[in-house]
Chains A and B, each alone.
Chain A
Amino acid sequence: MSAPNKAWSSISTELVHNPDNLQLWQDLVKEAESNNKKGINKSTPPEEIQLLRTTYQNILDKYPLLFKYWIKYASWEFKLGHIDRAEAIYRSSMVHLSYCIDLWVTYLQFKIDTNHNKDEILTLFETARRKIGYHFHSYEFYDLYLSFLKNCKNESNGFHLKYHVLLRIIIELPIYHYEHFFKKIMSILASLNGADLHLMIPQKELSSIRNPKNAVNQLKKMFIDVYITTQYKVYELFKFERKLTKPYFDLNYISRQQLEAWNSYLNFLQSRDYPRDYVIFNFERCLLATALYSDFWTKYANFEINDGNLERAVEILSRGFSMNGDYQLLIELVDLHIYMKQWIRARDLILAYVKNTVSVPIPIYEKLIQLERIINPRDDAYLIKIFKELILETNQDWWFNQLLLFDVNNEQKLELFNEFKERFEDSPIFKSSLRRLKRLMGVIDTEQLRDFDEELNGYL
């Protein structure tokens, strides 16, 4: 039995009291890795390795968006010779980070290094491209992809054609290193001979080609136009991209400027003719960094709602809520369910929240009342009863304001007001709500001028 890791234990005790301290978590990982300064290698006893694993699993359960820890965790397993475990780690990282380009590049590199089934890797590259292929900084990814296709081509697998088609796809993308890929495609064109025309020229055009040289020149001209177009877009996007100084997740506050930069970027993309997928990718990319800020989840959900994709909006809001626990997102989610007439589901969500929360925000209770009203539409006595319970529970005058909104007999409302008259004697909300209720009942009661002497005496 090896000596227990004392430093690790003490940090872990501290974490019990202070579970939201990221620095402590990071220290914990460091201690597990240092393993009483012995380090970790293949001969480390299993329980010590297990400690390292537990540590990583815990921090990643708590902060799944810290992609560097996923990478480090997987590379430990790789170093220790557990390829399958490493693979499993990468796969589970994708639950939250499937739009994280750094993770993909590492994962794909890992696959290339460890797997020899080229088709499997190709499929994985394509999966990745569908997720992060529109990234402004996707140079590394495409470079890796191209070199993979190039290195693995043979007579039969068609990778040679795929290589050229991929390049053709890339040059239309506005990415930071667009020039690199243009140079590549231009140098291919320069040495393109008649036999290879089919790699660059669409099939239906091939038959009509008389002079290969002219065809290549024509192609060149077209690609220069593509170049101009792409360059124009890159410049446009760069104006926004250069403001994104913190495109990754951590627990620090994000400055208003940074949030505004994301916001205006997303607006810009929506307003220009970028395809839906392109916009969605950037929403996802933005949320990797801003997951704790509900505004972007809301904006994303609104984007889907405006496109009529309510189910997608439900999914986005659920993800956002589980990520940052902001009740505003829950309310939006519940509203969506109400709109879709899934009332029981909506109520369950609210009840689950109320059950697990120590101090429930007022808007959540408001939603609960509204839902009870929808589910029991004509039961006025029940509604009044809930109001009464909430007033007692929260001791808030706000409920009197809310009560006016509901279609319940005014006399019944007045009764409730009278019941709490003494308790909320000094509350302006109570008073103004009562005045409004009386107006609804036909009493004219306006705030009139005070007596002159009384008014002036206030100044003495």
Chain B
Amino acid sequence: MTRLVLPTFLQGQVTLEPPFSSLKQKIVQDETNIHHWDALFKAFQDKVDEDYDPKHPEKITDELKKSIHATFETLLLRFPYLSEHWRLWLVLEYKINGVESSIKVLEDSVQNHPFSLELWVDYISALISQYESAKSREKLQLIRAQYSRAIDLIGHQFSSHPLWDKVLDFEASIDPSSSEILHVYKQVTQIPLYQYAQYYKQFVEINKSFQVAELLDQDQLEHYVAKFGKTSLKELSLIEKHQIIDDYTYATFLKTQQAVNIKWAFESSITIHNFDLKTEKDTLASELTSWKTYLDHEIKQYELESNGAATIKPIISLFERCLIPHCLNSSIWLKYLAFLNKVTPEESKLEAMKPVYLRAITKFIPLNENFIRFNYARFLVSRNKFDEANDFLVDFIKFCSGSGSNATCYMKQPYIESVRSILQLWEKHLSNDSFTSLCIQIIEEYFTSRNEKKRVLDSQSEEEDIATKSFKTKLLQLINNEGVCLVVKFYLEHTGYSEDNVPKLREFYNKYSQEIAFKTSVFFWRYFMEFEGISQRDFANFETVFYYVRTQTQLPKLVIDSFVDLAYDIVCANFSEIFPSNSNLDTLLISKGSETSNSLLENQSARRTLANQNHSIKRGDDLRSSKQNISPVNKEEELLKITHKHIGSPGIFIESTPDITNKIMNEGDMIDLTDPRLTVPPYPSFKNVEKASLPIHYPNDN
């Protein structure tokens, strides 16, 4: 489940006219189906093409423009890596609002999808053509600033040559021997790129036009000077200098070439570079395997060269590139984070990892995969940000509980996971005593306020620890019946079976076992069955708990069956103590089969449970008790009667079936034909014969 945060557009504030409205409806129903979105975009495109007239731009209405904006924004906010859709928007934007506006779209696109090669190339091309039509210093500075950013972000991508080409062409058109162009070549020749040979060739043609000192670092220069037996640069002749340049350039080339060859083995197995929401899951999964081997190899290489010289930049670039098609996959994000965690020095971990966590958590990872979110909380704790971790989890719980400002509904699974996560955090960082007392306070206050229908908050004594108080208050506001079960689980697990605790636990049971919250809690009942049956061996109590489990809870049948199994095991192992007592537990030996049977006729407990919960029996009972002098019915018999009425035809009730009341079949009425005093059997008497041919009443008949 990937839930979309629905902005204004889908909530009906911008009204779309037909045919758009019906297409929008489809999107609302299935938000993550990209084909529905594409259909809407296609319709927009057709409409724009139809109305497009360069002489009369006003033909395209503001209403349509607004719709187009809102739609693209919605989709790209949720899936910023859809580069095709950014480009689609760009083209449309150009038609409806002109060039300036389309460049703005491009600017947004590289902001939101900073690792897209094609978007960067488009953006820089647009800036360049803008510059060429009206040159200015500011624009030049802007272009240089932006391409430097692009190189920084994506210059290490194996196929980033379109970007490098664009930059080199641009700088060459301004001044082919500028220091800028040299700077770019110095970078590009060292990076293992698919087109590495081309840059070497280009560079060889122009490298003599630069000073050797500009080309080489101080260290390398000294190395060469020494090699020629000189003491300083000035002593070198021009030929010698050119020799140095050639040698250095070639050495770089060889090194890059070697790196390219190694990379090629991995690069060639990768075919998907873009995120499009259309690729089959299996295809993505098999690509992912290639990516993982590639990444593992690069990480290993990095570790081998860990003399401080290696930089993590190429690996980060590789991770980010992998995370374009696989941005929804948390295992890659976690691998990325694990790598960062390993290589980053302690003091800068927060700075390096937090943005990555936040990007993954807030933009990409779907809400049904929350490990990374809880892992983030634990990361914060490991950085001594305990309060921040708590706040993060509380916010997330709030969001899942459906009560946050941007929450759309209650999401049970993430809710439970996040409550568990926060409790685990407290469990680890508080002492056992303060943790259990915190839990029991939450439980008590929860049920008190529930039962009094109002929340009693902030009414605790003052000596309480301020920190735990704020945890408690925050959690208490967000807890529901499912959440409180978890708190109880932690509480009970942390309360040992010591002699002092036994009366405490029994008191706990007596106080809370009737709560609706526990009707569906497997843990709660298993805990008390084991508590009485295995720990305390109080079989009278055990029988009470077991009876309650079978007849009063709302646990699924499978769970009750396994409780019957557990009880059976306990009874079998302790039979010599059970059978002399006057309990009924020993019958479990022979009734286990019936107790787990799916048939209401055999399974007495299930019958009792269902009879207590059957609405029509309850209604009949209420009706009857409202009149006087009528004793309440036996609910189980009533249930069986109802079952009888539709057993041959489930769902269709047949009120009465014809029968002979004094059947010869009946016990005691059997006739023995060998009997010498044989007589004719009495006349048959009937019931309901006249009803045999009544039409059957189907439920949807009126």
Contacts and interface: CB of A to CB of B under 8 A. Distances in A.
A162 B678 contact: yes
A336 B575 contact: no
A444 B684 contact: no
A459 B331 contact: yes
A225 B689 contact: yes
A341 B660 contact: no
23 contacts: A168-B664, A222-B683, A226-B684, A228-B689, A231-B692, A232-B692, A236-B648, A267-B647, A271-B647, A272-B647, A275-B666, A277-B667, A335-B590, A335-B592, A336-B589, A339-B587, A405-B569, A440-B535, A442-B498, A444-B432, A446-B493, A448-B424, A452-B378
Prevailing SS type, chain A contact patch:
helix
Contact of A443 (B496, B601, B665): B496
Contacts of B573: 370, 373, 402, 405-407
Interface stretch (A104-112, A200-208, A350-358): A200-208
A336 B590 contact: yes
B335 interface: yes
B347 to A, nearest CB: 16
Contacts of A126: 672-674
A446 B494 contact: yes
B643 interface: yes
Contacts of B643: 271
Nearest to A298: B593
Nearest to B341: A456
Contacts of A271: 601, 640, 643-644, 647
Contacts of B593: 298-299, 301-302, 305, 332
A172 interface: yes
Interface in B129-147: none
A165 B677 CA distance: 12
A453 B647 contact: no
A453 B692 contact: no
Interface in B593-632: 593-594, 597, 599, 601-602
Interface in A385-438: 402, 404-407
What 9 A-B pairs are tightest by C-beta distance, nearest first?
Answer: A405-B573, A459-B334, A377-B576, A460-B338, A452-B382, A335-B589, A339-B589, A456-B338, A229-B658
Contacts of A201: 680
- Looking at A122, A123, A200, A306, the one whose CB has the most chain B CB atoms below 10 A away is A306
Nearest to B592: A335
A166 interface: yes
A455 B375 contact: yes
A82 interface: no
B665 A173 contact: yes
A268 B535 CA distance: 43
Contacts of B682: 202, 204-205
A270 B496 contact: no
Given A268-B647, A302-B602, A440-B497, A202 B680 contact: yes
A199 interface: yes
Given A199-B680, A339-B586, A275 B334 contact: no
Contact of B497 (A165, A439, A459): A439
Contacts of B472: none
A442 B496 contact: yes
B339 interface: yes
B105 interface: no
Interface residues of B, number: 79
Contacts of B378: 449, 452, 455
A373 B660 CA distance: 54
Given A198-B680, A373-B573, A404-B534, A456 B375 contact: yes
Nearest to A456: B338
Contact of B667 (A161, A276, A332): A276
A169 interface: yes
Given A169-B664, A239-B648, A444-B496, A407 B537 contact: yes
A452 B374 CA distance: 11
Contact of A306 (B425, B497, B602): B602
Contacts of B657: 232, 236, 272
A197 to B, nearest CB: 9
Contacts of A125: 673
Given A236-B648, A406-B574, A457-B342, A122 B673 contact: yes
B56 interface: no
Interface string A140-179: 0000000000000000001001101110110011000000
A402 B682 CA distance: 61
A94 to B, nearest CB: 19
A338 interface: yes
A460 B697 CA distance: 65
A169 B680 contact: no
Contact of A460 (B335, B427, B664): B335
Nearest to A401: B569
B95 to A, nearest CB: 46
Contacts of A370: 572-573, 575
A165 B671 contact: yes
Contacts of B647: 267-268, 271-272
A456 B334 contact: yes
Contacts of B579: 341
B381 interface: yes
Given A225-B689, A305-B594, A203 B375 contact: no
A381 to B, nearest CB: 16
B494 to A, nearest CB: 6
